[in-house]
Amino acid sequence: MNGSVLVLLRHGQSVWNLKNVFTGWVDVPLSNQGIREAIEAGRAFDSIPFDVCFTSTLVRAQMTLMLAMSQHRDGKTPVVVHPEEKRSKVYSDKVNILPVHYSSDLNERMYGELQGKNKDEMREQFGPEQVKIWRRSFDVAPPEGESLKMTSERTLPYFDQTIVPCLKRGQNVIVSAHGNSLRSIVMELDGLSPEEVVNLEIPTGVPICYLFQGGKWIKSSVEELQARYRETA
């Protein structure tokens, strides 16, 4: 296939998604439904050969990545790369490894004083329009938290400096992250305005795919990419 593949995957439903609670940087695991979503996502791209993975430092994104890759057909073992940790170094070239890199730059936006609070209760207290602005606007941050603009100011440099070079080398990449860190990336790749990004929703456990070809981003479906790779298998 010409070009390299980028798959963006929001983590499956977390236990606080299920409870309708603002999560942000609070490190909660997947719910049972989220586990199923991660496995189904992995089955959806089980024939796309990946060369490297990126995820956040939060367990719900890491769980999603590992569960998804457990369904893959290529037999590679996802191995988390721990910087400056010599004891985790692999000395054999006989094992088929898929490197996994993590960074807080890919973390969810930090929701500040909303973290741990029920979304419906916040709508009752502050009004649904204010909560929508905190959740979906580009440059308005919740109290003591991050706006999408602030989130993009850490996410996009990491994406441009660390992830894009892999794609330029012809490597296929999967990024398992969060609704707002991925919104900032999709906003950049799709050329969305601050007004348009208000309506951008990133569903849990649904792969978003791009071909990186000739320096351009071409949106594709996971079904199309899966079919192409199965044909060449």
Q: Which residues are catalytic?
A: 11, 108
Work out whether strand 97-102 and strand 52-55 pair parallel, antiparallel, or are unpaired. Answer: parallel
Closest CA to 209 of 227, 194, 223, 197: 223
Taking a C-beta distance cutoff of 8 angstroms, is the pair 78, 64 a contact?
no
- What 3 state SS string does the chain have? CCCEEEEEEECCCEHHHHCCECCCCCCCCECHHHHHHHHHHHHHCCCCCCCEEEECCCHHHHHHHHHHHCCCCCCCEEEECCCCCHHHCCCCCCCCEEEEEECHHHCCCCCHHHCCCEHHHHHHHHCHHHHHHHHHCCCCCCCCCCCHHHHHHHHHHHHHHHHHHHHHCCCCEEEEECHHHHHHHHHHHHCCCCCHHHHCCCCCCCCEEEEEECCEEEEECHHHHHHHHHHHC
